Structure 1
Amino acid sequence: MAFRFAHNNFNVLNLERSLAFYEKALGFREARRLEGPGFTLAYLSDGGKTPHELELTWLHDRKEPYNLGENEFHLAVTTDRFEEAHRLHQEMDCICYENQAMGIYFISDPDGYWIEILPEK
């Protein structure tokens, strides 16, 4: 029996705002969408670099922010243009934590989810 990753899920309050953020910040674009009664699932792709997707779930009637607890979980991505990415994220004012000793930083999406940015090795 073998398992492999398919996707991660983040629940969002404003799907269009989140789609715009992920496209500008990371270049992730909507690959497909599923509509259901009272919800929309948008699957974001990194353009085929990996098969992994980020599923954004929008519950249409939800108005209050999600409780992310202590936010001790995150999504991690790599980039071959780390310094350029860092400048972009500084301009977007979405960097929420930096660890210069490790050479990494984190950005926060519109709903407070953290994404770790790592240089490609």
Structure 2
Amino acid sequence: MDFKLHFDHYNINVADRDRSMEFYRKALGLKEVGHIDGPDGAFTITYMGDGSTGFRLELTCMRDHPQPYDLGENETHLALRLDAGQDYERLREFHRQMGVVCYENPAMGIYFIEDPDGYWIELLRPEKL
């Protein structure tokens, strides 16, 4: 393939924009890095980012869909890895205190947190150098 691609964003639909923004700010340190308002307020798109990479999490909130989304058996998920030197156990304890840890596999060095809409986010230990 002659094309060079890079990851730009990952989209999820959310029922409550403000609640989701607060979750991603508090749980993962993301902040709003962009915003689009749809015609006549039909939707809002909020881009959340870490401020150091170009990757963005796109939160789409549809005006006429305030109810929870049925995620069914959707097992796709966003995964984040801590940078080298970061304290994985401290972050996991922070998420436990928030009450958002939904699955842990210590043998694999991973755990998942669940956002307000039921999406799972995988947290990985820093890579060993």
Query: Within the alignment, does 1:13 sit opposite 2:15 as a pair?
Result: yes
How far is 1:63 from its partner? 2.3
Query: Within the alignment, does 1:46 sit opposite 2:40 as a pair?
Result: no
Q: After the TM superposition, which segments of 4 or more aligned residues of structure 1 sit over 2 Å from their partners?
A: none
For structure 2, which runs of at least 5 residues remain unmatched after alignment? none
For structure 1, which runs of at least 5 residues remain unmatched after alignment? none
Decide which moves more: 96-105 or 76-85. Answer: 76-85
Query: Within the alignment, does 1:62 sit opposite 2:68 as a pair?
Result: no
Q: Of the candidates 38, 57, 61, which is equivalent to residue 36 of structure 1? A: 38
Q: What residue in structure 1 maps to residue 118 of structure 2? A: 112
Larger Rg: 2
Equivalent residue letter for 2:119: Y
How far is 1:2 from its partner? 2.3
Residues 67-97 of structure 1, C-alpha deviation per residue, up to 9 Å, x if partnerless? 2121311000112221111011001110111
TM-score, normalised with respect to structure 1: 0.94
CA contact (8 A) 1:76 1:116 kept: yes
Residues 44-64 of structure 1, C-alpha deviation per residue, up to 9 Å, x if partnerless? 00121x211100001012122
Taking the aligned partners of 1:63 and 1:54, their CA distance within structure 2 comes to 20
Taking the aligned partners of 2:66 and 2:44, their CA distance within structure 1 comes to 15
Taking the aligned partners of 2:34 and 2:76, their CA distance within structure 1 comes to 25
Answer 1 or 2: which has greater strand percent: 1
Query: Within the alignment, does 1:77 sit opposite 2:83 as a pair?
Result: no
- SS of 1:47's partner is coil
